[in-house]
Chains A and B, each alone.
Chain A
Amino acid sequence: MSTIVSFKNVQKTYDGETLVVKNLNLDIRTGEFLTMLGPSGSGKTTCLMMLAGFETATHGEILLKGKPINRIPPERRNIGMVFQSYALFPHMSVAENLAFPLKVRKVPCSEAGERVKKALAMVNMQSFANRMPAQLSGGQQQRIAVARALVFEPALVLMDEPLGALDKQLREQMQYEIKRIHEESGLTVVYVTHDQGEAMTMSDRIAVFNNGIIQQLAPPSELYEQPENAFVARFIGENNELKGTVSEMHDHGCVVELPHGGSVRASAGSGIAVGSTAGISLRPERITIGEGARQCDNVFHGGVKDLIYYGDHLRIVMVVCGHDDFIVKVPNDGMNRRVRVGDGIDVGWMADGCRALR
Chain B
Amino acid sequence: MGDAHVTGGRSLKSKLRRAERMEQVKAYLLILPLFAFLLICFLLPIGALLVKGFTDPTLSDELPRAAAMLREWEPAGGEVPDEEIFATFAKDLAASRPTDGASRVAKRLNIDQPGMRTLILKTANKLDTVEGATWRDKLVSIDSRWGAVATWSTLKYAASPWTLGYYIKALDFTRDERGEIVQQPEGQRLYRDVFVRTAVVSLSVSVICLLLGYPVAYFLAALPARYSNLFMIMVLLPFWTSILVRTTAWVVALQSNGVINALLIRLGVTEDGFALIYNRFGVLVAMTHILLPYAILSLYSVMKGVPVIYVKAARSLGAGPIRAFFQAYFPQTLPGVAAAGMLTFILAVGYYITPAIVGGPSDQLASYYIANHVNTTLNWGLASALASMLLVGVLLLYAVFVRLTGGRGAKLG
Chain B contact residues: over half helix, strand or loop, or mixed? helix
A89 & B324 in contact (Cβ 8 Å cutoff): no
Q: How far is the CB of A78 from chain B (nearest CB, A)?
A: 7
B316 & A81 in contact (Cβ 8 Å cutoff): yes
Most buried by A among B312, B313, B331, B332: B313
> Known contacts A75-B319, A89-B328: does B314 contact A100 (CB below 8 Å)?
yes
A85 contacts across to B, CB distance below 8 A? 307, 309
Taken residue by residue from 153 to 172, chain A's Cβ proximity to chain B (1 for < 8 Å, 0 otherwise) reads as: 00000000000000000000
Q: How far is the CB of B191 from chain A (nearest CB, A)?
A: 42
Q: Say whether B115 faces chain A, with CB atoms less than 8 Å apart.
A: no
B324 contacts across to A, CB distance below 8 A? 75
Q: How far is the CB of B318 from chain A (nearest CB, A)?
A: 4
B310 contacts across to A, CB distance below 8 A? 87, 89
Q: Say whether B323 faces chain A, with CB atoms less than 8 Å apart.
A: yes
B309 contacts across to A, CB distance below 8 A? 83, 85, 87
Q: Say whether B327 faces chain A, with CB atoms less than 8 Å apart.
A: yes
A152 & B315 in contact (Cβ 8 Å cutoff): no
B327 & A74 in contact (Cβ 8 Å cutoff): no
Q: How many contacting A-B pairs (Cβ < 8 A)?
A: 65
B327 & A100 in contact (Cβ 8 Å cutoff): yes
> Known contacts A81-B313, A85-B309, A89-B310: does B331 contact A100 (CB below 8 Å)?
no
CA distance A12 to B327 in the complex (A): 31
CA distance A90 to B323 in the complex (A): 16
Q: Say whether B25 faces chain A, with CB atoms less than 8 Å apart.
A: no
Q: How far is the CB of B3 from chain A (nearest CB, A)?
A: 46
Q: Say whether A357 faces chain B, with CB atoms less than 8 Å apart.
A: no
CA distance A104 to B327 in the complex (A): 11
Q: How far is the CB of B5 from chain A (nearest CB, A)?
A: 39
Q: Which of A52-109 contact B (CB under 8 A)?
A: 52-54, 73-76, 78-81, 83, 85, 87, 89-91, 100-101, 104-105
Q: Say whether B45 faces chain A, with CB atoms less than 8 Å apart.
A: no
A100 contacts across to B, CB distance below 8 A? 314, 317, 319, 327
B316 & A74 in contact (Cβ 8 Å cutoff): yes
CA distance A53 to B313 in the complex (A): 11
CA distance A75 to B316 in the complex (A): 5
Taken residue by residue from 322 to 339, chain B's Cβ proximity to chain A (1 for < 8 Å, 0 otherwise) reads as: 011001100110000000
B312 contacts across to A, CB distance below 8 A? 52, 54, 74, 81, 83, 87
Q: Say whether B320 faces chain A, with CB atoms less than 8 Å apart.
A: yes
Q: How far is the CB of A303 from chain B (nearest CB, A)?
A: 53
Q: Say whether A44 faces chain B, with CB atoms less than 8 Å apart.
A: no
Closest A residue, CB atoms, query B330 = A91
Closest A residue, CB atoms, query B332 = A91
Closest B residue, CB atoms, query A52 = B316
Q: Say whether A265 faces chain B, with CB atoms less than 8 Å apart.
A: no
B315 & A73 in contact (Cβ 8 Å cutoff): yes
Q: How far is the CB of A151 from chain B (nearest CB, A)?
A: 9
B317 & A101 in contact (Cβ 8 Å cutoff): yes
A148 contacts across to B, CB distance below 8 A? 317
CA distance A100 to B310 in the complex (A): 12
Q: How far is the CB of B345 from chain A (nearest CB, A)?
A: 24
B313 & A75 in contact (Cβ 8 Å cutoff): no
B313 contacts across to A, CB distance below 8 A? 81, 83, 87, 89
The 7 closest A-B pairs by CB, nearest first: A87-B313, A101-B317, A81-B316, A104-B318, A74-B315, A91-B331, A87-B309
Instruction: Please list 9 pairs of residues, one from A and one from B, whose beta carbons are closer than 8 Å in the complex, sorted by A's number.
Output: A54-B315, A73-B315, A78-B318, A81-B313, A83-B309, A85-B307, A89-B327, A90-B332, A101-B319
4 extra interface residue pairs, beta carbon distance < 8 Å, beyond A75-B315, A90-B332, A100-B319: A85-B307, A87-B313, A101-B318, A104-B317
Query: Footprint of B on A, CB under 8 Å?
Result: 52-54, 73-76, 78-81, 83, 85, 87, 89-91, 100-101, 104-105, 148-149, 152
